[in-house]
Amino acid sequence: MDVTFDALMARFGWRPIPGCPGRFVLRGQHGLSPADLLGGAEPRTFRVAAAPDPVVVASFEGGGLISYARPDGSFVHTLNTAEGLARKLAQLGIELP
C-alpha cells in the first residue's frame, strides 16, 4: 500500500476532530498499531512533556499520522493534513528532520 493522506483517509473510518482543522481521529481501531496503518513503515516515537503518552509520528505525502501509545498497549490514531500535522507537531514541541 502506498502511504498517503488520501489512501489512509479512504481505507479507514476517520472522523474530524472538532476545533482542529485538518485533523481526524480513527474510530474503533485501537488495537491496530501505527505500523499496521502504515503498511509496515517505521514511524518515529517521541516522549514529550506536552503529552502523557508516547507520541508516534510518521509523515508522508499529503500529511502524516500521529498516534498516542496508551499504557494498555492500545493506540489513539490521528490522521493529519500537512497543515494539521505541522500545527500539532509544533504544539507538541516535536521537530521532524
Position 20, amino acid: C
Entry pTM: 0.94
Q: Which residues touch 88 (CB under 8 Å, ≥6 apart)?
A: 20, 23, 66, 78, 80
Is 25 within the bounds of a domain?
Answer: yes
Residue 20, all three cell numbers: 482542529
What domain range is 9 assigned to? 5-92
Indicate whether 87 belongs to any domain: yes
Burial label for 57, CB within 10 Å (0-12, 13-18, 19+), is buried
Rg (CA), the chain: 12
Judge whether 21 lies within some domain.
yes
> Is 56 domain-assigned?
yes
Number of domains in the chain: 1
Is 13 within a domain? yes
Kindly give the confidence (pLDDT) of every residue in the chain, 97 residues in length, as a single tens digit, with 9 standing for 90 and above: 589 999 999 999 999 999 999 999 999 887 999 999 998 678 999 999 999 999 999 999 999 999 999 999 999 999 999 999 999 999 999 998 8
Task: Let me know the angle formed at the C-alpha of 5 by 3 and 8, rounded to the nearest 5 degrees.
Answer: 65
Residue 97 in any domain: the answer is: no
